[in-house]
């Protein structure tokens, strides 16, 4: 065990009836302090006005994300501010959807660093606007065929499954939720009159929806959840045990949560929302926002912004257990693209300080074996070098062929056959895997003479000659090992040669083992080098 940071040498010695040998690997082990355990890297959201809180986030890829804001100092001051990054959050550029007085941003659905859709909800009367930008938010144009012109219209969200297919949803008109669909990027929107959108009374919530693949769900101020499995074309509803549903999050087409945040009561489903069961959240499930981690089954991240609810946590088993990531920061929203890329919203203090947090991502991992080739009966050290990410690494080793397992960063192993070692390192919900191999050569430490080859002179000083004798092959490999089992010389002969010569000037004096192998035959000899 190493208790201090630093770079350490490792020495290994071996002794048997033929002599002894040792080897030292310089700077073989590097010991670092664990990475920052907060899990998040603070970034500047770019808003010039302080206390801009992030309402929601739309991620396009590892570099591109959009986020929209509200006035955290005066929530009655409705704004249309948003910010975007195209370099992974190194810089965020804040902008505003100009004009459109009497409206605020419900959500943004981003397609690229230049193309995005915004839904605007009315702040005083009825209505709603679906907007598009094609120049990174510099200008926005209303898509007027999603009319939202009824006296009861109220737009809640817009979502695009890809560059062409989208859906937008508003409060009920004429007994059905007002839903429009498009297949041409919003050039035309068509009112959806499907019977599954019917509701006797009630309304929806701004940005209260979740989409996974072709599936989409939205909640309401009743106990009902509405779901579609075909990009919002056909719909069905189901009843939860909740009073209202204003937060939804699914990890796949089947498994998800429905939440009424006011009382923080929760339901779960395992059949896409066809049926729901009550769920009692643990104390460290945060209450402000919840999102899936795409690509990881039943994995979610929750964040909190209220007093006694600060911080973030995650579950890898659909809420059977929640593990705390941190408990000191105020997070207003959260969104992940995959296990490596995610952001959580907060409040800024200036254009250059705070407002948004980026997930550290998965750690880097490499696996090594030293030596990577050994003689039967010898040992090797396998080591997992993990760095970055959330920290708190959990190690899990497996081998192929089976027979070895371990839970530490390194281990000494003595395989009897060539073996692959796989290490999985878990850091929070992130998992990374690396593999290394140990080749076991059937060269015994006890000498086995073979008359098929002739080696001379032996002992040798300057050069060693090999007469391959009766070994007949056009593909021969010559290897030399020290007594520790390290491979220190290898040469392949692809054109048949009856003899070979090895220059020994770079070899130290000592006892070595030489092997000659082909695809059919194997021979081995002990050699001694003198100086």
SS3 of 82-105: EEEECCCCCCCEEEECCCCCCEEE
For residue 344, name the pLDDT band (cuts at 50, 70, 90): very high
pLDDT of residue 47: 98
d(CA 379, CA 381): 7
pLDDT tens digits for range 229-263: 999 999 999 999 999 999 999 999 999 999 999 99
Six token digits for residue 214: 């072709």
pLDDT tens by residue, 490-518: 998 877 678 889 999 999 999 888 888 87
Q: How do the domains of the chain map onto residue ranges?
A: 40-359, 364-440, 454-529
Neighbours of 72 (CB within 10 A): 20
pTM for the model stands at 0.78
Q: What 3-state DSSP class applies to 6?
A: strand
- Say which residues have a Cβ less than 8 Å from residue 8's Cβ, sequence separation at least 6: 2, 27, 28, 29, 30, 31
Cα–Cα distance, 118 to 129 (Å, whole number): 8
- Tokens coding 110: 């981003």
Read off the DSSP letter of residue 38: T
pLDDT mean over 306-334: 95
Contact 445, 16 (CB under 8 A): yes
Q: Which of 138-152, 211-225, 385-399 has the lowest mean pLDDT?
A: 385-399
Residue that is written with structure tokens 């690229």 in the block: 112
Q: Which CATH number fits domain 364-440: 2.40.50.100, 2.60.40.10, 3.40.50.2300, 3.20.190.10?
A: 2.60.40.10
The order of strands in the sheet holding 311-315 is 289-292, 300-304, 311-315, 323-326
CA–CA dist 263, 278 (Å, integer) = 13
Mean pLDDT for 15-23 is 61
CATH of 454-529, one of 2.60.40.3080, 3.30.390.30, 1.25.40.10, 2.160.10.10: 2.60.40.3080
The pLDDT assigned to 2 comes to 47
- Nearest CA-CA partner of 524 in 452, 469, 464: 452
8 A C-beta contact, residue 208 and residue 219: yes
For 166-186, the pLDDT digits (tens) are: 999 999 999 999 999 999 999
Closest to 155 (Cα-Cα) out of 236, 99, 209, 196: 209
Question: DSSP letter string over 465-509?
Answer: EEE-TT---S-EEEEEE-TT--EEEEEEE-S--SEEEEE-TTPPS
Please choose, from the candidates 385, 370, 380, 397, the residue with its C-alpha nearest in 3D space to the C-alpha of residue 30. Answer: 385
Q: Which CATH architecture has domain 40-359?
A: 7 Propeller (2.130)
| Site of tokens 């959009």 | 66
Contacts of 419 (CB under 8 A, 6+ apart): 399, 400, 401, 404, 413, 437, 438, 440
Give the CA distances from residue 31 to residues 9, 365, 387, 425, in Å, rounded to whole numbers and listed in that order.
11, 14, 10, 17
3-state secondary structure of 197: helix
Q: How many residues does the chain have?
A: 531
pLDDT at 289: 97
Question: In the numeric block, which tokens belong to residue 149?
Answer: 């012109």
C-alpha–C-alpha distance, residues 45 and 348, integer Å: 7
Q: Which two tokens stand for residue 184?
A: 């041409």
Half-sphere exposure for 438 (CA within 13 Å, toward CB): 32
pLDDT in tens, 255-272: 999 999 999 999 999 999
Is the fold of 364-440 the same as that of 454-529?
yes
Tokens of 178: 């007002």
Gap between the Cα atoms of 3 and 514, Å rounded: 41
Taking alpha carbons only, the member of 352, 356, 345, 350 closest to residue 50 is 350
Question: How crowded is the C-beta side of 508, counted as CA atoms within 13 Å?
Answer: 8
pLDDT digits (tens, 9 = 90+) for 96-150: 999 999 999 999 999 999 999 999 999 999 999 999 999 999 999 999 999 999 9
Average pLDDT, the chain: 90
Average pLDDT estimate for 339-349: 97
């Amino acid at each position: 065990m190493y208790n201090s940071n630093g770079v350490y040498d490792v020495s290994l010695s071996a002794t048997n009836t033929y002599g002894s040998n040792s080897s030292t690997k310089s700077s073989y082990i590097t010991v670092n302090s664990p990475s920052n355990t907060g899990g998040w890297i603070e970034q500047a959201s770019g808003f010039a006005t302080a206390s801009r809180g992030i309402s929601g986030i739309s991620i396009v890829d590892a570099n591109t994300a959009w986020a929209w804001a509200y006035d955290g100092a005066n929530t009655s001051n409705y704004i249309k501010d948003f910010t975007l990054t195209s370099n992974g959050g190194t810089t965020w550029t804040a902008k505003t959807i100009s004009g459109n007085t009497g409206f605020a941003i419900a959500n943004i659905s981003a397609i690229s660093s230049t193309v995005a859709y915004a839904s605007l909800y009315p702040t005083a009367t009825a209505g709603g606007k679906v907007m598009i930008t094609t120049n990174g938010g510099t200008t926005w144009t209303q898509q007027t065929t999603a009319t939202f012109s009824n006296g009861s219209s109220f737009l809640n969200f817009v979502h695009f499954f890809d560059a062409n297919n989208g859906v937008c949803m508003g409060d009920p008109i004429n007994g059905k939720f007002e839903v429009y669909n498009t297949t041409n990027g919003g050039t035309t929107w068509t009112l959806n009159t499907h019977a599954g959108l019917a509701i006797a009374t009630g309304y929806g919530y701004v940005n209260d929806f979740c989409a996974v693949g072709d599936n989409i769900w939205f909640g309401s101020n009743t106990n009902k959840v509405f779901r579609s499995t075909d990009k919002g074309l056909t719909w069905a509803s189901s009843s939860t045990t909740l009073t209202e549903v204003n937060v939804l999050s699914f990890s796949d087409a089947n498994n998800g949560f429905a939440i009424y945040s006011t009382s923080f009561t929760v339901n779960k489903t395992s059949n896409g929302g066809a049926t729901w069961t009550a769920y009692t959240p643990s104390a460290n499930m945060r209450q402000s926002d919840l999102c899936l981690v795409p690509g990881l089954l039943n994995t979610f991240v929750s964040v909190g912004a209220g007093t006694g609810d600060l911080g973030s946590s995650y579950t890898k088993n659909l809420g059977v257990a929640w593990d705390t990531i941190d408990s000191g920061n105020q997070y207003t929203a959260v969104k992940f693209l995959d296990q490596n890329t995610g952001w959580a919203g907060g409040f800024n203090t200036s254009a250059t300080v705070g407002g948004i947090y980026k997930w550290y991502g998965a750690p880097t991992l490499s696996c090594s074996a030293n030596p990577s080739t050994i003689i039967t009966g010898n040992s090797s050290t396998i080591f997992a070098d993990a760095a970055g990410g959330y920290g708190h690494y959990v190690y899990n080793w497996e081998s192929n062929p089976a027979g070895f397992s371990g839970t530490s960063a390194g281990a000494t192993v003595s395989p009897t056959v060539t073996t692959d070692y796989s290490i999985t390192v878990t850091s929070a919900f992130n998992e990374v895997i690396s593999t290394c191999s140990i080749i076991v050569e059937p060269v015994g430490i006890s000498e086995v003479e073979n008359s098929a080859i002739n080696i001379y002179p032996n002992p040798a000083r300057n050069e060693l000659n090999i007469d391959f004798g009766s070994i007949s092959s056009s593909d021969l490999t010559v290897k030399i090992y020290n007594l520790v089992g390290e491979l220190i010389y290898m040469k392949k002969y692809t054109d048949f040669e009856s003899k070979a010569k090895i220059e020994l000037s770079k070899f130290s004096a000592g006892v070595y083992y030489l092997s000659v192998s082909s695809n059919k035959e194997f021979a081995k000899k002990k050699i001694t080098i003198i100086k």
